[in-house]
Amino acid sequence: MQRHSPVCLAAAFAAALAAAPVQAEAFLRATPESPQQIALSFAPVAARTAPAVVNVFALKTSPQPSNHPFFEDPFFRRFFGDRGFGVPREKVQRSLGSGVIVDSSGLVVTNHHVIEGADQIRVVLTDKRELAAELVLRDPRSDLAVLRMVDPGKFPTVELGDSDALQVGDLVLAIGNPFGVGQTVTQGIVSALARSQVGVTDFQSFIQTDAAINPGNSGGALVDMAGKLVGINTAIFSRSGGSHGIGFAIPSNMVRVVVESARSGSSRVKRPWLGAQLQPVTLEIAEGLGLSRPVGALVADVPAGTPAAKGGLQRGDVIIAVDGQPVDDPAGLGFKLATRPVGGKAAFTVHRGNREQQLTIALEAPPESSGREQLVIKARSPFAGVTVAALDAALADEMRLPFNGQSVVVVKVERGSPAEHVGFQAGDLVLQVNGVNIGTPSDLDRVTKAGARLWRLVVQRDGQTVSMVFGG
């Protein structure tokens, strides 16, 4: 009987919510006390939310090479075109995921990886209607995208909940289209909060659940017992490709930021920028600073002119809370800032000199250069094949890099290029070439065009500065 108690709890809450909304919170974490409560089900919550969960089909067309020798013969192609022998010269790739309608006008939230690179997007509703959709906003940093169904109409929606109010042990439902079998509802609990080692997005603060999530569930809904959206299902931990009871969802408070940006007509999401360089607090650091345990974000550097500097943050401070919410590590701090609107202020609690202090820091967007200069280095050199850009504050924040003045960053490395063979990666900072300080992409272009028999490079990666020497 004990195994079925979560079902009872959900049903008891659903019944209480319908009968007496004022008492809903009291029933949220109650234990079933009668056979009648045990006999209840999740059906009311599923019926209310499932119509707003859709299937998302993304189609991408890519050239399809052929090994048949006639395909490359101009005479053959004049007569048969690009579909000789009935074989198409293009390959259509299809990806399947789920999405959630969050606005009755037809706005749909899904995962960015579901629709990435798609030439055509279609949405299938629970009533079997299939509608074309257009991409309104994509945010790879959070792995979220917002679509709009092209056909006008009034659509069912799921209300966004407050993911910060979730507690470990709360009951949740996962709704999506696993393996393309059709809409499926699974039940579980919140297994953990603020998971930061998932590696799917820049903002590492996931809801972990044991509700069954499988391929095809990506972009689907994680709802609480009040029928509110508390997360977008995104990833699973699996060695077999199936559910092992460890699934991850993007919290709804991050979803809200992306949706509001889409509603405002913005082409991208603007988030607050602190500007300080942070590092985790280890046990040794905690002991040295007089902290009772290793939590918080240690301020390693505070560049001048940043919101952190203007707000009074100092090197050696440990940020332990934002607006009264505890900060476990730099990833947790990044998530908390990313879910706050630009233009406001935040109250930071910092540990400094064996005591706590309160600081008020403005929530400003990172400044961006009026024209971001990018260059492809083509001259014969170890850099041939890289695309570099001037590292402004906005690009530094986007690429999760330190910003401390003029720098040149590698943003792309062409496959098979000399630069790839040397080992350059996106995010590398080019500091010096043959004794010349590199402050702009033009500096690097000029130095490489001059040529050399020996190349002495100074490059920074992951905070480590490395000197290298290559032959010309």
Domain ranges of the chain: 2-41, 49-269, 277-362, 374-471
Model confidence band, residue 200 (pLDDT cutoffs 50, 70, 90): low
| pLDDT, greater one: 22 or 326 | 326
CATH superfamily of 277-362: PDZ domain (2.30.42.10)
pLDDT digits (tens, 9 = 90+) for 367-392: 776 556 788 998 889 999 999 988 88
- Say which range, 17-26, 27-36, 282-291, 417-426, has the weakest mean pLDDT: 17-26
Domains 49-269 and 277-362 fall in the same CATH topology: no
Give the whole-angstrom CA distance, residue 283 versus residue 358. Answer: 24
Q: What is the CATH number of domain 49-269?
A: 2.40.10.120
* pLDDT reported for residue 80: 47
Question: 302, 266, 225, 282: which is closest to 13 by C-alpha?
Answer: 225
- Say which range, 110-114, 353-357, 386-390, 460-464, has the weakest mean pLDDT: 460-464
* pLDDT reported for residue 201: 66
The one-letter code for the residue type at 152 is P
* pLDDT reported for residue 303: 86
Give the whole-angstrom CA distance, residue 420 versus residue 52. Answer: 45
* 4 is annotated as an active-site residue: no
Question: 135, 106, 123, 370: which is closest to 267 by C-alpha?
Answer: 135
Whether domain 374-471 has CATH 2.30.42.10: the reply is yes
Cα–Cα distances in angstroms (integers) from residue 54 to residues 217, 419, 450, in the given order: 10, 44, 57
Catalytic choice (218, 252, 261, 381): 218
pLDDT digits (tens, 9 = 90+) for 44-56: 999 999 999 999 9
Give the whole-angstrom CA distance, residue 431 versus residue 447. Answer: 12
* 421 is annotated as an active-site residue: no
Given a cut of 70, is residue 89 above it in pLDDT?
no
* 238 is annotated as an active-site residue: no
Given a cut of 70, is residue 241 above it in pLDDT?
no
Q: Which of 70-79, 168-177, 388-397 has the highest mean pLDDT?
A: 168-177
Model confidence band, residue 170 (pLDDT cutoffs 50, 70, 90): very high
Per the confidence metrics, is the pTM higher than 0.75?
Answer: no
* pLDDT reported for residue 15: 41
Question: 46, 53, 61: which is closest to 178 by C-alpha?
Answer: 53
How are beta strands 221-224 and 229-236 bridged, if at all?
A: antiparallel
Catalytic choice (95, 98, 139, 143): 143
* pLDDT reported for residue 223: 95
Residue positions forming the annotated binding site = 113, 143, 216-218
Q: Which residues pair with 185 in a beta bridge?
A: 175
* pLDDT reported for residue 14: 39
The one-letter code for the residue type at 425 is Q
Question: 318, 96, 83, 339: which is closest to 205 by C-alpha?
Answer: 339
Neighbour count for residue 329 (Cβ, 10 Å): 20
Given a cut of 90, is residue 11 above it in pLDDT?
no
What's the token pair of residue 28? 């949220």
Given a cut of 50, is residue 236 above it in pLDDT?
yes
Residue positions forming the annotated binding site for substrate = 113, 143, 216-218
Given a cut of 90, is residue 281 above it in pLDDT?
yes
* pLDDT reported for residue 277: 87
Percent of the chain with pLDDT over 70: 81
Catalytic choice (95, 112, 113, 428): 113
